[in-house]
Amino acid sequence: MIGSRVVHACVHRADMVLPNGAMPLPKGARIRALHRHGKQLVLETRRHGCVVVHLGMSGSLRLVAEAQEPPRDPHVHARWVVESPGGSRLALLHRDPRRFGWLETHPDLASVHQAWRGRLGPDALDPSVARLADAFARTQRAVKAVLLDQSVIAGIGNIYADEALFRARVNPLQAACVLEHPACLRLVKAIRWVLRRAVEHGGSTIRDHRTADGRWGSFQRLHRVYGRGGQPCFRCGNTLESTRLQQRATVFCPTCQPGRPARRPEGRRRSGSLQGRVDG
């Protein structure tokens, strides 16, 4: 991919490109480097600026041999054909079934970093315990709501927030400001562990996620809580509770993750004999 030259570029949905009318990775652009921060990927070219790929919840970039490219997919919104220095040609496809993502062009890498400043927190694979603890101390929001705030820590989605909080034994609904330093330390370690394992397994395929080479992810087989509301906890055997927080499904173990909620969440569903209790 690095050093490849774009020989064909086509955007099928112009409304997924910012600014309006821009052409990300135009014909003739040569890919110089790839960068990532949180959930965002940057393709940097030598003389044609950068394109930031916001994958959203279901977006992906797929790289396939041009000769093996599948038939026209309505969920592919941009397509490039790139030629490697050795002469092989690959199709690079931006696919997003739910269209929560977009492509954003910038004149250079410095412009990308400027856009990120204040909008994205530190990368979730390398969070600072002190910074996270400080962010928690300044808000009464639920812990999980803070983790999903990309301006606090960039790169944690709904699935991995649930999994990291379970591993750290932190209740997702409790007020962040009451979390003490030992719990913050456990949480930072859990975030790193969960994300690194998820990367190793190609992510979690719940509906339509695939890796860059088209394979299904397999980390969903290691989920301890996500998608398992009402089932027994793998750790203690008690019933996992399912609720919603900021319109997002949230599953946790009231026994293994004790703590009082910051406020009564919307759409709370009680399960088992625990009667929705979260103070364990």
- State the average pLDDT over residues 202-231: 68
Out of 116, 137, 166, pick the residue that ends a domain: 116
3-state secondary structure of 120: coil
Provide the edge-to-edge strand list for the sheet that holds 60-65: 5-11, 76-83, 89-95, 60-65
Name the E strands within the chain: 5-11, 17-18, 31-37, 40-45, 50-54, 60-65, 76-83, 89-95, 102-106, 241-245, 248-252
For residues 162 and 185, state if they share a domain: yes
pLDDT score at 272: 36
For residues 77 and 150, state if they share a domain: no
For residues 142 and 95, state if they share a domain: no
For residues 112 and 157, state if they share a domain: no
State pTM to two decimals. 0.81
Residue 248: pLDDT above 60? yes
- What is the domain extent for residue 71? 5-116
Residue 268: pLDDT above 50? no
For residues 98 and 177, state if they share a domain: no
Domain membership of residue 34 (yes or no) is: yes
For residues 77 and 151, state if they share a domain: no
Domain membership of residue 239 (yes or no) is: yes
For residues 136 and 249, state if they share a domain: yes
34-38, 92-96, 261-265: least confidently modelled range: 261-265
Compute, in degrees rounded to 10, the torsion defined by CA atoms 119, 124, 128, 133.
Answer: 80
For residues 84 and 164, state if they share a domain: no
- DSSP letter at 14 equals G
Domain membership of residue 280 (yes or no) is: no
Please answer whether residues 204 and 159 qualify as being in contact, where contact means their C-beta atoms are separated by less than 8 angstroms.
Answer: yes
Which CATH number covers residue 102? 3.20.190.10
For residues 164 and 269, state if they share a domain: yes
